[in-house]
């Protein structure tokens, strides 16, 4: 019988847990969690998104997106606006305060990544990133 550490899926799972723990620790002071951060990072690369699009692209349950966006609105980091092509729908957009928050997290985020990938050299990190992008394929936002 194979041990757990011989199972690549398990190792990816453990790495994901560790990454989430590190990011949540770094975000703890702001009151946000990794899921909030993911929404903000996604919004930073778009002109706004419908909540159902956020759910699909980030892989979160639609009901979770509602709470995450509510939290971000309370902090002034995101806001809901009428969709230009369907006034019954609302798009979520990043605010200036949300952009400022993300700029302030860039260095700390790099420290978290460096801590996580500490055992790897620069070429190995690039290879890992390339392989993860290939594996994730269209599942990434």
Helix (H, G, I), strand (E, B) or coil at 3: coil
Residue in 67, 73, 119, 118 with CA at minimum distance from that of residue 92: 73
pLDDT digits (tens, 9 = 90+) for 53-103: 999 999 899 999 999 999 999 999 999 998 888 878 889 999 999 999 999
pTM of the predicted protein model: 0.80
Distance CA 111, CA 41 (A): 17
Question: What is the tens place of the pLDDT at every residue in 102-117?
Answer: 998 888 888 888 999 9
**pLDDT tens-digit readout, 43-54:** 999 888 998 899
Q: CB of 57 within 8 A of CB of 50?
A: no
Across the chain, mean pLDDT equals 89
In this structure, the strands spanning 49-50 and 78-83 are unpaired
């Amino acid at each position: 019988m194979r041990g757990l550490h011989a199972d690549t899926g398990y190792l990816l799972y453990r790495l994901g847990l560790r990454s989430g723990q590190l990011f949540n620790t770094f975000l703890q002071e702001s009151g946000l969690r990794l899921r909030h951060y993911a929404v903000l990072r996604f919004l930073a690369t778009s002109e706004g998104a419908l909540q159902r699009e956020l759910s699909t692209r980030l892989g979160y349950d639609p009901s979770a997106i509602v709470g995450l966006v509510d939290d971000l609105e309370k902090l002034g980091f995101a806001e809901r606006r009428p969709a230009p092509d369907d006034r019954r729908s609302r798009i979520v957009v990043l605010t200036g305060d949300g952009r400022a928050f993300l700029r302030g997290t860039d260095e700390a985020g790099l420290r978290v990544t460096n801590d996580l990938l500490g055992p790897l050299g620069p070429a190995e990190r690039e290879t890992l990133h390339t392989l993860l992008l290939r594996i994730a394929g269209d599942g990434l936002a």
